[in-house]
Amino acid sequence: MFRPARRITELTAIGVSLMLPLGVANAQTNPADIEALQAQLQALQAQINELKSQQKATQEEIATASDNVVTRTPKGDLKIGETTLSIGGYIKAQATLANNGYGDNKASEIVTPSSLRSVDEDLGSRNSFSARQSRLNVGTNTPLAGDTLKTFVEIDFYGADEEANEFVSNSYAPRLRHAYGSWGSWLAGQTWSTFMDLNGLGEVDAFGQHASVIFVRQAQLRYTQPFAGGSLQFALENPEDGGDDQSIPDIVGRVNFDGDWGHASVAALARQLRVDNGEDDDSEWGDAYSVTGRFPTIGQDDIRLQVNYGNLGRYMGLRPYPDAQIENGEIGGVDAWGASAIYRHYWNDEWRSSLAYSRTGLDETGSGNMTDSYDTTFVNLMWSPMVNTTYGIEYQRFDLEEVDGDTFDLDRVHFSAQYNF
């Protein structure tokens, strides 16, 4: 292997040996000999300079190559040049036992107000197994222009049911959950709505199925301005009121407050409701408000509270209430309210339980099969015997009453095993 440093050392030694005769020569040394030695020294110096240049180029190549080498960070992520690549997600197995004939549909582990209306008290219990909530995500972090460029993509397997079967392969389609990029204060792409506060969810297996929880993912453009003790957020988000006629995006503002005392957040939503079907053409502005809080109590325990009011529609509780209704060619928003409380208690470092109650109600005159009220109650026991591993059992109760007096209820026991990676 060519070693410029060693070659330079050898040439230096040769130069010293050439200089020795100059030191011992007497005054009668032939001038021609001195000139010859000087010429040899100049040639030697030129070779040394060339080798130094080659050595510098080799070092630069080594440095460039090391920048492209894949290394591992202390957290276990991959470092490729200046970009940190993280791969994560979890495998989650679920089993449910429900009464009133609930469980025949392929996504039966997710209870919605619409699917709840399919229960039949004349039918017996149903059992269902699934691993569809399992998730896979990929994220990156890259220093860029004095800040950090972040990207995140995540899928689960709640894709189109018509493509699935439970006869042989249990083939379920992937579904996009998140796909966004952010740089500095700006975020663009699909993720949780700015009107939604994750602190309102709590640790329950009926993820996102609280009657009053704000639960929406959608494409958006968001700006976040941090301040001491919190942040201010503003976003333009994908509009939808059931007719898909909107010409103006949903507008969301949120202010967050955080400290040792806990977390509190207030959000406001303004949205255009519109009908434009070739016969009717009308629009109206709707508004909604949400307040959430998470507060530590005793030891590791905490309580989470949420109150929502206004033209909530699809934003609340997997849409128990319509966004709007049309009468005589005119569109009008449907107002509702919702409130929830979730208390989590740690029995010890491995065992914990959550008790969650959520209630909603219609805030105006309705008719027919429109939801009048919707309640949910969950209580669970979670066990984490090892890092990244959680086993759970949860009792779930769903109650829905329509304006015309019809009622639908469901009791269900949910088992789960989750393995994070």
Looking at residue 98, the DSSP 8-state letter turns out to be E
- Identify any residues that bridge with 152 across adjacent strands, giving them in sequence order: 139, 180
What's the pLDDT band for 257 if we cut at 50, 70, 90? very high
pLDDT at 384: 98
Whether the predicted pLDDT of 1 surpasses 70: no
Q: Which position has the higher pLDDT, 206 or 59?
A: 206
Q: Mean of the per-residue pLDDT values for the chain?
A: 89
Over the stretch 335-360, which tens digit does the pLDDT of each residue have? 999 999 999 999 999 999 999 999 99
Give the residue among 321, 296, 381 at the shortest CA–CA distance from 114: 321
What percentage of residues in the chain have a pLDDT greater than 90? 71
Phi/psi at 280 (nearest 5 deg)? Answer: -105, 140
pLDDT at 397 over 80: yes
pLDDT of residue 67: 57
- pLDDT confidence band for 11 (50 / 70 / 90): very low
Query: Who wins on pLDDT, 226 or 41?
Result: 226
Residue 279: is its pLDDT beyond 80?
Answer: yes
Cα→Cα distances 193→9, 103, 270, Å: 66, 29, 13
Q: Pairing relation of β-strands 389-402 and 250-259? A: unpaired
**Mean pLDDT (whole number) for 287-305:** 98
pLDDT surpasses 70 at 65: no
17, 303, 350, 354 from 300: Cα distances, Å: 78, 10, 12, 12
CA 208 to chain CA centroid, nearest Å: 14
Sign of CA dihedral 200, 240, 189, 234: negative
Q: How confident is the model at residue 57 (pLDDT cuts 50, 70, 90)?
A: confident
Res 112 pLDDT > 90:
yes
**Treating both helix axes as pointing N-terminal to C-terminal, what angle do 31-67 and 4-24 enclose, rounded to 10 degrees?**
160
Please check whether the domain covering 84-420 is classified as CATH 2.40.160.10: yes
Mean pLDDT of 97-106: 83
Dump pLDDT digits (tens) for 364-388: 888 889 999 999 999 999 999 999 9
Under the banding of pLDDT at 50, 70 and 90, the label for residue 64 is: low
Question: Could you state, in order of their start, the residue ranges of all structural domains in the chain?
Answer: 4-67, 84-420
**Three-class DSSP category at 413:** strand
pTM of the model: 0.82
- Distance spanning both ends of the chain, measured CA to CA: 43
**pLDDT value at residue 25:** 47
Quote the distance between the C-alpha of residue 76 and its chain's center: 19
Q: DSSP assignment of 374-385, as one string?
A: EEEEEEEEEE--
